[in-house]
Amino acid sequence: MRTKIINSRIFCGNGEILENADILFDETGILDIGPSLHGEAKRVLNGSKKTVLPGFIDCHTHLAGLDAGDGIAVAFRTQEGARELLSSGITTTRAVGTKYGADIRLRDMIARGELKGPRILASGEVICITCGHCAEIGMECDTVGEVLKAARSQCKRGVDWIKFMATSGVLGVGPSTEVQLSGEQIKAIIQVGRAFDTPTCAHIMNYEALKTCVEAGITCVEHGYDMDEAMAQRMVEMGTWYVPTMAVTLMESTYIKPDTSRNRDLVEKAAAAQKKVRNAVKAAIKEGVKMAVGTDTGCPFTNPSMYAYATELSLYHMSGMDNREVLTCATRHGAELLGIERETGTLEPGKAADVVLVEGNPLENIEAVKDVCATFCKGELLYHKA
Ligand SMILES: [Zn+2]
């Protein structure tokens, strides 16, 4: 349906911000942007006191959660997890760990128009060690030969990204910063990615593993909580992307009840990780590391109903990034990381009409992104505030 949003502030994502402007689009893409557009539309929304932005991109989600049950349960949860993102204005997500490769199937069904939802870039299961971090949603590998087979079979199944767990993490028994996959295994996975022209990303909570991954040419570091300025500089030289996922450990340390010894341990680890990630992000901002936004939705208390995405953006702002740059990370940079910048990530005629309308002005107050009025994926209204 041809749609026009009128009299709105428009954050185009390409450096341009228009005031009192209109945007006209349909399922084929964005048709026009500018003041007082003449084109007719079947649906007209008043955008005054609101802001139009490119649909947000969440580069780190677990659509079915982390402990997802049998295949049927995982399939349902994956679809529901994807649909819930729309209420946060998210029109594209990179799923970085879904059991049974349910994200791969859902990606294709949405792309074919059989189901409604955001655009998905899929990684299927994570590659990890036996009983290692996220083994519940992983392909367990203990030798170089096993990771080679796992990485190649993921490429054969058609993943967009290869995801592996280089270290332990906050959720799990024991320390959160222990090296799990060996240096040789890490290098082997990244080489497979290169051979199959498939980007690689890794869960990393330890300096040594971070160094191994960056030097081996990983595409994107997830978490990277031990990063310092020297490492950030090296990432700039190597062209390595960074998705810090700041909100998740804040959510866990705030909301998990320390009522058992295991939960007390989790809260402590999450609080320690939260301190580290703030330093890491400051170093990354100072050195100019390419950053995109990811929430780790699917972890405890990290989801759209807890405003995980808005919290993530607020934490970028609190770490010293100005709101314009934060919103660019959420849109254009996300699209660049995912290699879909010709299709989405900015509002320009000819691009897909991935459009979000929020109350107020997130350029002045980043918290405004909490209040999403409407989310359009490829021109189709998929979420509307009641
Ligand atoms: Zn994760």
Quote the ligand 1 centre to 53 CA distance (angstroms): 26
CA distances from 287 to 109, 130, 238 (A): 40, 36, 13
One domain for residues 79 and 204? yes
One domain for residues 34 and 66? no
Quote the ligand 1 centre to 270 CA distance (angstroms): 14
pLDDT tens-digit readout, 261-313? 999 999 999 999 999 999 999 999 999 999 999 999 999 999 999 999 999 99
Radius of gyration over every alpha carbon of the chain, rounded to an integer in angstroms: 20
One domain for residues 27 and 155? no
pLDDT tens-digit readout, 93-134? 999 999 999 999 999 999 999 999 999 999 999 999 999 999
User: Which two structure tokens, joined as six digits, stand for 332?
Assistant: 């254009």
Which residues partner with 291 through β-bridges? 242
One domain for residues 281 and 329? yes
Quote the ligand 1 centre to 359 CA distance (angstroms): 29
Q: How far is CA 250 from the centre of its chain?
A: 17
Mean pLDDT of all residues in 1-26: 97
CATH of the domain at 165: 3.20.20.140
CATH of the domain at 366: 2.30.40.10
Quote the ligand 1 centre to 170 CA distance (angstroms): 10
Statement: residue 92 has pLDDT above 80 = yes
Instruction: Classify residue 14 by burial, with Cβ atoms within 10 Å: 0-12, 13-18, 19+.
Output: middle
Mean pLDDT of all residues belonging to the chain: 96
Quote the ligand 1 centre to 18 CA distance (angstroms): 36
Contact 301, 266 (CB under 8 A): no
Quote the ligand 1 centre to 367 CA distance (angstroms): 23
| Among 130, 129, 78, 121, CA closest to 99 | 78
Number of domains in the chain: 2
Task: Give pLDDT, residue 176.
Answer: 82
pLDDT tens-digit readout, 38-78? 989 999 999 999 999 999 999 999 999 987 689 999 999 99
Query: Is the whole model's pTM more than 0.85, yes or no?
Result: yes
Instruction: Classify residue 290 by burial, with Cβ atoms within 10 Å: 0-12, 13-18, 19+.
Output: middle
Give dist(CA 173, CA 271) in Å, integer: 16
Statement: residue 173 has pLDDT above 80 = no
pLDDT band at 386 (very low <50, low <70, confident <90, very high): confident
One domain for residues 46 and 65? no
One domain for residues 285 and 363? no
Q: Which residues fall within 8 angstroms of residue 263, CB to CB, at 6 or more apart?
A: 256, 257
Quote the ligand 1 centre to 96 CA distance (angstroms): 6
Give dist(CA 39, CA 385) in Å, integer: 26
Statement: residue 138 has pLDDT above 90 = yes
Quote the ligand 1 centre to 245 CA distance (angstroms): 8
pLDDT band at 175 (very low <50, low <70, confident <90, very high): confident
Statement: residue 318 has pLDDT above 80 = yes
Quote the ligand 1 centre to 60 CA distance (angstroms): 6
What are the helix and strand counts (H, E) for the chain?
11, 18
Contact 180, 140 (CB under 8 A): no
Which residues partner with 372 through β-bridges? 358
One domain for residues 208 and 105? yes
One domain for residues 225 and 327? yes
User: Which two structure tokens, joined as six digits, stand for 234?
Assistant: 């090296």
Q: Which residues fall within 8 angstroms of residue 280, CB to CB, at 6 or more apart?
A: 224, 225, 226, 227, 228, 244
Higher pLDDT, 173 or 112: 112
One domain for residues 18 and 115? no
Task: Give pLDDT, residue 149.
Answer: 98
Quote the ligand 1 centre to 163 CA distance (angstroms): 10
One domain for residues 175 and 272? yes
Task: Give pLDDT, residue 308.
Answer: 97
Quote the ligand 1 centre to 194 CA distance (angstroms): 22
One domain for residues 37 and 95? no
Give dist(CA 216, CA 202) in Å, integer: 12
Quote the ligand 1 centre to 285 CA distance (angstroms): 22
Range of the domain at 15: 3-54+346-384
One domain for residues 365 and 217? no
Contact 252, 66 (CB under 8 A): no
The torsion angles phi and psi of 354, rounded to 5 degrees, stand at -90, 105
